[in-house]
Amino acid sequence: MRLLVVEDEVRLARALREGLQADGFAVDVAHTGPAGLDLARSGEYDAVVLDVMLPGLSGYRVVESLRAEGNWVPILLLSAKDGEYDQADGLDVGADDYLTKPFSYVVLVARLRALLRRGVRARPVVLAAGDLRLDPASRRVSRGGAEVTLTGREFALLEYLLRHLDRVVSKTEILDHVWDAAEDIDPNTVEVYIGYLRRKVDAPFGRRSLETVRGAGYRLAADGG
């Protein structure tokens, strides 16, 4: 497995390279944000260990650039910033994991192996179907650039459908994932909320993205209708 380590502290970068190589990884190192971004764009890496505070371009911006380009290489952020909002920001821009300094080398390797087991797969920060977009972090929805206001339950339902594009999901699946298990909800409630969504994200824009599949459930078209 080939790893990229992007770290401006030379001694730490050297120690990481030596340790990871001893554990059987092939390792390349960069010391600035722009250099790390250029190497990561090559597509040759199975995972990236990326410092947040880098010269030239922060780790957050490197992650944003890669994700915007459709590069889904697993990324583990390293940072001395241990605030909960710092960690949330790192994950929200598209990183897969966040480890604060000082850290245990054993834990770093364990987390890397966990990332490698998951493999490379698309994990978009913003969910989209055509021009319909939903940002889970900011909790904003838009259609063709126009903001759409949803209730909390409508937002949760749309997010679930966007995460299962072009797949038929049943009322039971929706109830299990969108409503609290402790709530005694009539399955027909799902149909009511599907109607609410259609009136907000489809009808005003002349679209028909949210389909009813008789006897089976509902499907959100990947092209946005």
Give the CA dihedral 168, 118, 223, 128, nearest 10 degrees.
110
* 3-state SS track over 4-16: EEECCCHHHHHHH
Tell me the pTM. 0.70
pLDDT, residue 181, reads 61
For residue 101, give Cα distances in angstroms to 83, 86, 87: 12, 13, 12
**Over its length of 225 residues, how does the chain's per-residue pLDDT go in tens digits?**
899 999 999 999 999 999 999 998 989 999 999 999 999 998 789 999 999 999 999 999 999 999 989 899 999 999 988 788 888 988 989 999 999 999 999 999 999 999 998 877 777 778 899 999 999 888 899 999 999 999 999 999 999 999 889 999 999 889 888 887 656 778 889 999 999 999 999 999 999 999 999 989 999 999 988
What H or E segment, with its residue span, contains residue 59?
A: helix 59-68
pLDDT digits (tens, 9 = 90+) for 113-169: 999 988 777 777 788 999 999 998 888 999 999 999 999 999 999 999 998 899 999
Angle between the 171-178 and 188-197 helix axes, to the nearest 10 degrees? Answer: 80
- Closest of 184, 174, 170 to residue 212, by C-alpha: 170
Between CA 108 and CA 100 the distance in angstroms is: 10
Domains of the chain: 2-118 (3.40.50.2300), 127-220 (1.10.10.10)
